[in-house]
Amino acid sequence: MSVVLVLAALLAGTYVVAVLEGWASTGRLRPAGPLVSGLALLGRESLVPRKPDRIFFEVAPPLLLVAAVLAAAVLPLAPGLIVTDLATGALFVNASFAYVMVAVLMAGWGPDGAYAMVGGFRFLGQLVAYSMLVVMPITAVAMRAESLLTTEVVTSQVSLWNALYQPLGFALFFLAAMAIAFLPPFDLPIAPGELAEGVLAEYTGWRLGVMRFGRALLVLTLALAVTVFYLGGWFGPVLPPWAWTALKTLAVAAVMLSVGRYVPRLREADVLAWGWKYGIPLALVNIFYVGVVLLVAM
């Protein structure tokens, strides 16, 4: 039963994220937008490029979807409302996000086009930059919770949200989350101006619909992960827990979607350099800091 509820909540959340995405890019709020676009996409032809690597071309969109769903499956929406409360939940979230990269790589190689290829390999470079910055803040979060259970991570924040307890980790994880979802300014694989939509360039019709849906779901899942790990999950006065999770998640998603409009796209060399030269030392400092605070507070 909770599985059905969670999936329904994810579906609703993805729809709202798609509306937010439309609003962020055009400035107009169109509540029926995703529905109309989805129907229109279903009605379009789905063209296959002339000589694709067929397996990769077909598998990439569903894999993107599956990776996002798997990550969402271990994140709690409210006390008791979780698909599966894995004992290694926090780590599993990271594992499933790694398959996002595999999906984008397949989408880059599959269609046999120069733009998609450059986009796919750029994303791999981006992964090398952000992957540490996902795991290390999660480590610090797990340290405070003294468990990898995502529900424990939420309950450990009852006194103070992790965003305030470990702000450095919060900032790093937020940026890394934007990079996983390849949102601007980390949208190297898509790069609308430079690569004519890069990895998405060759997808049309219902396949494009699946890719877009998968990406919106990914944004939602990442926002949910940020909420669970850093913003105290379902805690909050007055409203029921699931409402707080929803509000926080959608707020995070809105910020993620709109920040990129005001900054130029980051060069891949810069992303790699900053990720390794500044990001990782800062993440280590964060772990050290959290460790010290935990020991002192005991």
Partner 1 sequence: MTIPLSGSREARPFPLRRLAAWAAARDLAAFIVPGPDVARTCGIDLDAAGVRVAQTPRHAGVLVLVGELPRGLKKAAAVAYAQMPRPRAILAVGAGDVSPLPEPDVWVTASQRELAAGVEELRRLFAEGAFATEAAGFDIEEIRMETEYVCPMHPEVTSDEPGSCPKCGMDLIPRESAGGAGHEGHDDAGHGDTDHDASDPGVLVSHEGHGSNDEMDYQDMGHEGGGEDSGGHEHAERGEHEGHDEMDHGGHEDMGFMSMVEMTQGTPRSSDGLQMEWTGAPFGPLFPGLPGGLSLTFTLDGDTVANVTAPRGALGWDLDGLETAPARDFPDLLALLDPLSPTAYRLLALQALEDAANTVADERTTLERVGALERERAASHLGWFSGFGRLLGYSWLEARAGQIQLALLRAADAEEVARQETEVGKLVRRVYRTPMLARRLKGLGTLPDTAETSGPVARAAGLAKDARSGGIYRTLDFEPVVREGNDAVARLWTRLAEVEQSLKLVRKAGAVCFPQGMLTSPLRSTGSATVETPRGAATLRVKLQGDVVSATELTTPSSLHHQFIGAVAEEREVADALLGVASLDLSPWGVAR
Partner 2 sequence: MGQAVFTGFFGAAAIWFGVVVFRTSSMVRSALALLFSQAAIGAMFLAMETEFLGVLQLMMMATEMAIMAIFMVMYMMDPGGLGGMDMTHQKRASLVAGALGAVAALVVALLAGWGPVATRVPAATAQVHDLGIEIMERSMLIFETAGVTILTAMIAATAIAIRRRR
Q: Which residues in this chain contact partner 2 in the complex, by CB under 8 A?
A: 53, 55-56, 86-88, 91-92, 94-95, 98-99, 101-102, 105-106, 109, 121, 124, 127-128, 131, 147-149
253, 17 in Cβ contact below 8 A?
A: yes
Tokens of 222: 């990442």
Whichever of 152 and 187 has its CB closer to partner 1, that residue is 187
Question: Is the link from the previous residue into 31 a cis peptide, with omega within 30 of 0?
Answer: no
- Tokens at 95, concatenated: 């594992």
**Closer residue to partner 1 in complex, CB, 49/62:** 49
CB of 103 to partner 1, least distance (A): 17
* HSE-CB for 231 with a 13 A CA cutoff: 24
Q: How far apart are CA 207 and CA 212, in angstroms?
A: 9
Which of partner 2, partner 1, none binds 39 (CB below 5-8 Å, type-dependent)?
Answer: partner 1
DSSP percent split of the chain into helix, strand, coil, nearest 5 = 75, 0, 25
Nearer to partner 2, 103 or 208 (CB): 103
Among 8, 11, 26, 240, binds partner 1 (CB under 8 A): 26
8, 29, 44, 55: residue in contact with partner 1 (rule CB under 8 A): 44
By CB under 8 A, residue 29 contacts partner 1: no
Residue placing its CB nearer to partner 2 in the complex, 63 or 216? 63
CA 123/CA 131 separation, integer angstroms: 12
Least distance CB 115 / partner 1 (angstroms): 7
- Residue numbers 182-201 binding partner 1 by CB under 8 A: 184-185, 187, 191-197, 200-201
Distance of CA 186 to CAs 30, 41, 89, 271, Å? 25, 26, 26, 8
* Structure-block tokens of residue 8: 């329904």
Cα-trace Rg, the chain: 19
Residues that bind partner 1 in the complex, under the rule CB under 8 A: 25-27, 33, 35-40, 42-51, 53, 109, 112-115, 117-118, 121-122, 124-125, 128, 184-185, 187, 191-197, 200-205, 208, 260-270, 272-273, 276
